[in-house]
Amino acid sequence: MNRTAIGFAIGCVVAVLIGILGLVPANPAWGGEADVTRLATPSGGIQPQVAVGADGAVNLVYFKGEPAAGDLFHVWREVGSSQWTAQVQVNSQSGSSVATGTIRGAKVALGKDDRLHVVWNGSAKTLPKTSPDDFHHLPLLYTHLDPGEASFAPERNLITEAWGLDGGGSIAADGRANVYAVWHAGPEGQGEAARGVYVARSRDGGVTFEAEKKVSPEWTGACGCCGMEAATDRAGNLFIIFRGAGNEVHRDAHLLVSSDQGESFELTTLGRWEVNSCPMSSFSLVDSQAGMFAAWETKGQVFFAEVGTKGLDDLNIVRAPGSSKRRKHPVATAGPSGEILFAWSEGAAWAKGGRAAWQRYDAEGQPIGASTRGPDLPAWSQVRAFTQLDGTFAVIY
């Protein structure tokens, strides 16, 4: 038997063992997905958040500790390396981050000169207290890290008036030193229909921030315990995706787009959903050479669309394959050829992580092969996907 035949035979045996025992090769991914690399979050962390630099270096921020009051950590790795750096704690005040609900963890963005910006919901342990009413006056904390620096800047609260933080906020940054911290909030006791989306803008790379301003229409409301996402594209346009709560029942997925650095916004509704309860959903926005990709959940199903290069009234909205209605926490990313990787969680629920899954698509949104069922996810975590410098995909959970 020649070496090729021997190698094939060994590969078959390994594949059978993987299927029987539930084993998964560490890298690359399993199931014949040669262009999808699987990565586990270091040190048992959850809620991985990824920012990839122009040079292909991967920044990773993740959560560890008690879900109601834990810590954030940062690692990174250079192109061609399979090793992460030693972890550095992001928050200087231990126990000041929240993971409960899956949608309240950190969000990250790379800005001018590859400064890494991080924002997160402050926990009830955060000092100084903004008010004796901890729940309605929890802070939105922000910090940043410059390349080569050993530690993050001390975090600070960005909320000045728009109190009522519940679902997680987000952060976006462009190459011109504009940074946008985004969250939704509303007056205490007035319900979700009175909530709205707020943006605090920095023009100097996060050194200072302007006071927040409301950017969503009054009629949309905002789903209190749902997450949201913000991102900028290569032209500097700002995108914000969130779930509304009009009349407390219209839980539609809305997209806000600004082409003038947050001065004004255009709104498009991506998916309509009438339900008199909070679905605790998250969203994603990922910029790529093929455009800005938004992903969202509607009625237990997950969808994605490229929203940056086409008219917002003429989107090619793609749904994950199959009939499951227990899908959450979607993310879509594209490679230089236009090929797309769409990943999500199957069966996630309160204090239950579910299972990772993903599907590859061509540039027209047509599926390539069958979808892949990945590993089980820890409670409060989610799968993230990103494009590597060589154009291949990676998932991290």
**What is the DSSP track for 297-311?**
EETTEEEEEE-SSS-
Residue 42, SS3 per DSSP: helix
Which residues lie across from 158 on neighbouring strands? none
φ/ψ region of 83 (left if φ > 0, alpha if ψ in -120 to 50, else beta) reads beta
Residue 381: pLDDT over 60: yes
Give residue 269's pLDDT. 96
Count of domains observed in the chain: 2
Kindly state whether residues 9 and 61 are assigned to the same domain.
no
Q: Over the chain, what is the mean pLDDT?
A: 90
- The answer to whether residue 23 scores a pLDDT higher than 50 is no
Residue 79 has pLDDT above 80, yes or no: yes
Q: Are residues 80 and 158 in the same domain?
A: yes
Residue 33's pLDDT is what? 55
Write out the residue range of the structural domain in which residue 20 sits. Answer: 1-27
Scored b (16 or more CB within 10 A) or e, 153-192 reads bebebbbeebbbbbbbbbbbbbeebbbbbbbbbbeeeeeb
Residues 98 and 223 in one domain: yes
Q: Are residues 12 and 132 in the same domain?
A: no
Residues 148 and 63 in one domain: yes
The residue assigned the tokens 């009830």 is: 124
| Domain harbouring 239, CATH code | 2.120.10.70
Q: Is 291 found in the same domain as 240?
A: yes
Q: Which tens digit of pLDDT belongs to each residue from 292-346?
A: 999 999 999 999 999 997 777 789 999 999 988 899 999 999 999 999 999 999 9
What are the backbone angles phi and psi of residue 56, rounded to the nearest 5°?
A: 90, -5
Same domain? 59 vs 1: no
pLDDT band, very low/low/confident/very high, at 132 (cuts 50, 70, 90): low
CB 209 within 8 A of CB 157: no
The answer to whether residues 96 and 114 belong to one domain is yes
Q: What percent of the chain has pLDDT over 90?
A: 84
295 burial (CB, 10 Å; 0-12 / 13-18 / 19+) is buried
The two most distant CA atoms of the chain are separated, in Å, by 76
More confident residue, 396 or 18: 396
Report the pLDDT value the prediction gives residue 130, as an integer from 0 to 100: 78
Question: Contact at 8 Å (CB) between 159 and 152?
Answer: no
For the stretch 264-275, pLDDT in tens is 999 999 999 999
Residue 186 contacts residue 236 (beta carbons within 8 Å): no
H-state helical runs in the chain: 3-21
Please state the φ and ψ torsions of residue 16, each to the nearest 5 degrees: -65, -45
Does residue 18 register a pLDDT over 50? no
Q: Which residue has the higher pLDDT, 40 or 18?
A: 40
Is 121 within 8 Å of 97 (Cβ atoms)? yes
pLDDT at 156 over 70: yes
Across-strand partners of 305? 294
Strand order in the sheet with 238-243: 229-232, 238-243, 253-258, 266-271
Question: Based on the domain organization, do 236 and 254 belong to the same domain?
Answer: yes
Give the model's pLDDT for residue 312: 76
Two structure tokens written together for 292: 């800005």
Instruction: Report helix, strand or coil for 335.
Output: coil
Same domain, 18 and 35: no
How would residue 35 be classed by pLDDT, with cut points 50, 70 and 90?
A: confident
Give 191-231 pLDDT, tens digit per residue: 999 999 999 999 999 999 999 999 999 999 999 999 999 99
Q: Tell me how far apart the alpha carbons of residues 26 and 221 are, in angstroms, rounded to a whole number.
A: 44
Confidence at residue 7, expressed as pLDDT on a 0 to 100 scale = 38
**Bridge partners of residue 36, in order along the sequence:** 393
Question: For the residues 279-288, what does the mean pLDDT come to?
Answer: 96
For residues 259 and 193, what is the distance between their CA atoms, to the nearest angstrom? 27
| Residues in Cβ contact with 14 at an 8 Å cutoff, skipping those fewer than 6 apart | none
Together in a domain, 16 and 111: no
C-alpha to C-alpha distance for 249 and 221, rounded to whole angstroms: 10
Same domain assignment for residues 261 and 161: yes
